[in-house]
Structure 1
Amino acid sequence: MTMPMPPPRTPFARLAARWNPPPPTVRRATATALVMSVVIVVTGGAVRLTGSGLGCPTWPTCTDTSLTTTAAMGWHGVIEFGNRLLTYVLAASVGWVILAARCTQPVRRDVLRLAWGQLALVVANALLGGITVLTGLNPYTVAGHFLLSTALITLAYLARNRTAPAPAPAGAGDRASRVLARALLAACALLITAGTVVTGAGPHAGDSGDIARVPLDWTLVTRVHSALAWTVLALALLLHTRLRRTEAPHAALHRTRLLLAVLVAQGAVGYLQSVLGLPELLVGLHMLGSCLMWIATLHVTAGIEAANGPSTQEKDRAAACSTH
């Protein structure tokens, strides 16, 4: 009698047989990937703000004759090439999430799918970054570069949220709150998109006059961007008021307060940079604020969407109906 051959074991399966990471390890991996997804945005902004976008004039090598930056490229080459190297650090942090989620027993397939999505976005953004260099910092590819980074932050946050130890606050997920949260998320996405148009159409700090611009009226797109910012702030205030009226848990209110604080700070930085003539430091802070604003908005929305329990008002209505 022939014994059946055991199925071949994949490298992941062999590693999982020796390493079963505890939940805190998976949480640290997802947190690291989220932090790196923000860091790469900030350093990418530093490249642009220091006029180093073409510090390495070609891609995938830095120059036609060198893979790395050379002394002739100066500090602009160092900044641009350093940002390229950080892409590998970002990819490694996402790889850590993939390994940790795959080796956990049972496998965290929800986190694993999000991690593979992050890796795909890292690769796509690296390719788009190369196209941006080869096209002389085309403003449309620059805008796409930032939007892909925002998508990466979204997946990184969702992976981090899936591994959070505390459950979402119950009682904060009534229908009106969910509608407001979704409207807030959509308005915030439009605000970030409009911000890339403002950058592409206007006199951005750090840019050379030779860099092409989006052929739109900068004053008009700035006003649209400002109107969207006020819309996001108004929706956040409405949502916070709604949660207070429905006696939502403190955790849910804390999330909206955090978002409001980020929005106020981001608005103040935006106003100051326009008044002071777009100084590089404030523009960089505004880019960081955009990332934090998006994460805070995702944090609010995720908490409300995950709260499947009925609201306080719905419980009272059900109790009233049961007495009749």
Structure 2
Amino acid sequence: MHKPPPTMVGVPNVTRADAAAAVRNPLAFIAARWTPTPRTVQRAALAALVMSVVIVVTGGAVRLTGSGLGCPTWPKCTADSLTATREMGLHGVIEFGNRLLAYVLCAAVGWAIIAARSEKPRRRSLIRLGWAQFWLVMGNAVLGGIVVLVGLNPYTVAAHFLLSSVLIAVATVMWRRTQEGDEAPRPLVGKVVQQLVWVLVGVTAALIAVGTVVTGTGPHAGDSSEVPRMDLPMGMTWEDVSKVHAVLAWIVVTLTFALWFVLKSADAPKSPLNRTRDLFLILLAQGAIGYVQYFTDLPEVLVGAHMFGSCLVWIGAVLVLLSLRERGPLAQADDVSAPTQAYAATSASMAGPR
């Protein structure tokens, strides 16, 4: 007697309609079969935010190690090779490694989009924020290629960093939105305090923008060869721009302390008070690093730490702004049968008549 062949157990029965639905709209297909928990969506948004900071820090490492032209062309690393070659040495490895991290960033943003699209009930604001990050990443990838093709022109390098700052702001907003509901925002502070915070955010943005000018006129050009630096008006020098940067930093610190004092005096809710305290502490640490690097001739390690601190300052300022209102608790997810029903409806509608 011959024994019957073993049967496959636990393999899902994928129909032709399933395959068609997956090809036509993979996001809807996944959303119909998977419902992430709110914690999963929060982690996905946080992963995208962390990677947006990591790509800035590693991009700074490329510049500080003189590897900006480690891959002299784009989108390939060389005219004949997609990857770095042995002849290109360490600089090629560093530059190509930073390019590979861009794919990790894309994966993190993609996960955030899928998680937001699959959450139930659907939150369109989160989906839009996820897609905004995607297009910012794509735009910055193209801009990064232009930076290489024009030989690390300092103005394009500055634009590259500023667009990354916009990405960080959007990622921060999405991460914060995953922790709150979708009710109409209810202000927690008065209009005068809101205006003060908007001024704080505006001056912080100016601080970061002037920081790119400090970089564009400073000694760390991003490549071991001679790279042109930014031309400054009215005979200004790098030291002059650094002093303007320091003045703006002190204004941000003063505004942050004044905001904390006003919130404390008015017995404001804990959320804006705590976020303002966090920003103040980050600013103190960032200021200490800035002064030390200035008086020690800009060692690469401290410059890299200062770039990381710049990201934290920007995140802190955005979180202070977002803490001024509340939008209610997170909505409860639909019952467990809803994903199954949604999947059946989606498959039927996307498969069409057969």
Change (3 A) 1:305 1:228: farther
Residue 240 of structure 1 aligns with which residue?
A: 260
Give the stretch that moved more between structures: 96-105 or 84-93.
96-105
Q: Does 2:193 match 1:177? A: yes
CA deviation map 1:107-144 (0-9, x unaligned): 12101101111000101111111010111100000000
Q: Is the 8 A contact 1:52 1:79 kept in 2?
A: yes
Change (3 A) 1:111 1:167: closer
Change (3 A) 1:16 1:287: same
Gaps of 5+ in 1: 1-7, 309-324
Q: Is the 8 A contact 2:200 2:317 kept in 1?
A: yes
Residue 128 of structure 1 aligns with which residue?
A: 143
Give the stretch that moved more between structures: 191-200 or 218-227.
218-227
Shift of 1:9: 6.9
RMSD: 2.2
The count of aligned residue pairs is 302
Change (3 A) 1:305 1:249: closer
Of 116, 119, 124, which residue of structure 1 is paired with 2:131?
116
Q: Is the 8 A contact 1:173 1:307 kept in 2?
A: no
Aligned-residue sequence identity (percent) comes to 56
Instruction: Give me the whole-angstrom Cα distance separating, in 1, the residues matched to 2:24 and 2:206.
Output: 46
Shift of 1:266: 0.5
Q: TM-score, normalised by structure 1?
A: 0.89
Of 208, 212, 215, which residue of structure 2 is paired with 1:192?
208
Which amino acid in structure 2 is aligned with residue 192 of structure 1?
I
Residue 239 of structure 2 aligns with which residue?
A: 219
Instruction: Give me the whole-angstrom Cα distance separating, in 1, the residues matched to 2:326 and 2:162.
Output: 25
Give the stretch that moved more between structures: 247-256 or 271-280.
247-256
Q: What is the correspondence of 1:161-176 to structure 2 with a 5 Å cutoff? A: 161-164=176-179, 172-176=188-192
Q: Is the 8 A contact 1:170 1:307 kept in 2?
A: yes
Q: Is the 8 A contact 1:59 1:130 kept in 2?
A: yes
Which amino acid in structure 2 is aligned with residue 159 of structure 1?
M
Instruction: Give me the whole-angstrom Cα distance separating, in 2, the residues matched to 1:288 and 1:252.
Output: 23
CA deviation map 1:185-213 (0-9, x unaligned): 00000000000011001222765350110
Which amino acid in structure 2 is aligned with residue 82 of structure 1?
G
Residue 202 of structure 1 aligns with which residue?
A: 218
Gaps of 5+ in 2: 1-22, 329-354
Of 206, 224, 230, which residue of structure 1 is paired with 2:250?
230
SS of the aligned residue for 1:105 comes to coil
Of 71, 74, 80, which residue of structure 2 is paired with 1:59?
74
Q: Is the 8 A contact 1:205 1:280 kept in 2?
A: no
Q: TM-score, normalised by structure 2?
A: 0.81
Residue 268 of structure 1 aligns with which residue?
A: 288
Comparing both chains, which one has the higher relative contact order based on Cα–Cα distances under 8 Å and sequence gaps of 6 or more?
Answer: 2
CA deviation map 1:206-256 (0-9, x unaligned): 653501100112122112111111110111011001101110123322211
Which amino acid in structure 2 is aligned with residue 285 of structure 1?
A
Q: Does 2:178 match 1:158? A: no
Q: Is the 8 A contact 1:205 1:278 kept in 2?
A: no
Of 116, 119, 133, which residue of structure 2 is paired with 1:101?
116
Instruction: Give me the whole-angstrom Cα distance separating, in 2, the residues matched to 1:207 and 1:236.
Output: 37
CA deviation map 1:72-117 (0-9, x unaligned): 0001100000000000000011001111111112212101101111
Residue 313 of structure 1 aligns with which residue?
A: none
CA deviation map 1:151-195 (0-9, x unaligned): 000110000000115999987421121011100000000000000
The structure with the largest alpha-carbon Rg is 2
Q: Does 2:160 match 1:145? A: yes
Change (3 A) 1:56 1:206: closer
Shift of 1:304: 1.1
CA deviation map 1:19-56 (0-9, x unaligned): 11111111010000000000000000000000000001
Q: What is the correspondence of 1:282-301 to structure 2 with a 5 Å cutoff? A: 282-301=302-321
Of 57, 78, 99, which residue of structure 2 is paired with 1:84?
99
